[in-house]
């Protein structure tokens, strides 16, 4: 197995970060420093260490969490704010981390795992993982602004657009101040910033779908393990840059 993949499935880092550690001479195999990218290791007999600490492949867990407000998506926080990991009671392993981020006031689906390779894949732009949000605004969204969001607008960090947007139907009535947004861009706070750019205030933001995953059957603040079928689907997502 390639050394960087071994490091990734050991949960110590993503594969791209593993390459950096290797080049910097921070990885040893059987006591010898290895700086060659593409180096291979024997998974049964070789001892791999990163900064002097032995790493080994671990049991993977895949968790779908329905995130509530006022939790941050980091593993720890120096300001002592609540983190999403505090919601994972009786978890067999504590070495897990969120896939991507939801800001503190955003609710909904969050994937948590210790699979570094899958995390790298799902967060890489070339896979264009789709996310769906339920957005509630401070006032009705104008049809021309709906069109602008799909056509694309220029923000401070570049051109941004949604894939789909539509008004949400509630109790058999169209609510023009609530919209469903599908997007694959992964920029920080992208939904909030796009609406703020057009003069709207986001009152609530809830992620209802991530790739093929929905929060059905998972109440706010609760979680469940992914099924083997769900994990297999995520691992089979194609690289859109190769199509």
Question: How far apart (Å, rounded) are the C-alpha atoms in residues 109 and 105?
Answer: 13
Residues paired with 141 in a beta bridge: none
Residues 6+ apart with CB under 8 A from 167: 141, 174, 175, 176, 178, 179, 180
Catalytic residue, chosen from 20, 46, 77, 103, is 103
Structure tokens at 227: 């099924």
β-pairing, 213-214 with 202-210?
Answer: antiparallel
H or E stretch at 135:
strand 131-137
H or E stretch at 153:
strand 153-155
Largest CA distance in the chain: 68
Question: How far apart (Å, rounded) are the C-alpha atoms in residues 10 and 114?
Answer: 8
Q: Note if 103 is an active site residue.
A: yes
| In contact, 211 and 129? CB cutoff 8 Å | yes
Q: What is the DSSP string of 182-195?
A: EE----TTHHHHHH
Crossing angle of helices 228-235 and 116-123, in 10° steps, is 60
* Catalytic sites, residue numbers: 103
């Amino acid at each position: 197995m390639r050394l960087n993949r071994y490091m990734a499935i050991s949960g110590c880092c993503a594969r791209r970060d593993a390459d950096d550690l290797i080049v910097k001479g921070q990885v040893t195999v059987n006591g010898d420093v290895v700086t060659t990218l593409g180096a291979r290791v024997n998974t049964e007999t070789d001892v791999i260490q990163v900064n002097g600490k032995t790493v080994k492949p671990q049991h993977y867990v895949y968790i779908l969490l329905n995130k509530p407000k006022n939790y941050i998506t980091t593993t720890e926080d120096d300001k002592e704010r609540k983190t999403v990991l505090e919601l994972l009671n009786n978890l067999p392993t504590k070495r897990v981390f969120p896939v991507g981020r939801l800001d503190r006031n955003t609710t909904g689906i969050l994937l948590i795992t210790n699979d570094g390779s899958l995390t790298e894949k799902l967060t890489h732009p070339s896979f264009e993982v789709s996310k769906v949000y339920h957005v509630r605004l401070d006032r009705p969204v104008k049809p021309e602004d709906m069109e602008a969001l799909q056509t694309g607008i220029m923000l401070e960090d570049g051109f941004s657009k949604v894939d789909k947007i539509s008004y949400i139907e509630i109790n058999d009535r169209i609510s023009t101040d609530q919209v469903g947004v599908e997007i694959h861009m992964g920029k920080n706070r992208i939904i909030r910033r796009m609406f703020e750019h057009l003069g709207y205030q986001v009152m609530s933001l809830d992620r209802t779908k991530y790739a093929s995953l929905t929060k059905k059957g998972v109440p706010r603040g609760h979680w469940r393990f992914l099924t083997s079928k769900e994990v297999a689907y995520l691992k089979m997502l194609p690289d859109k840059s190769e199509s």
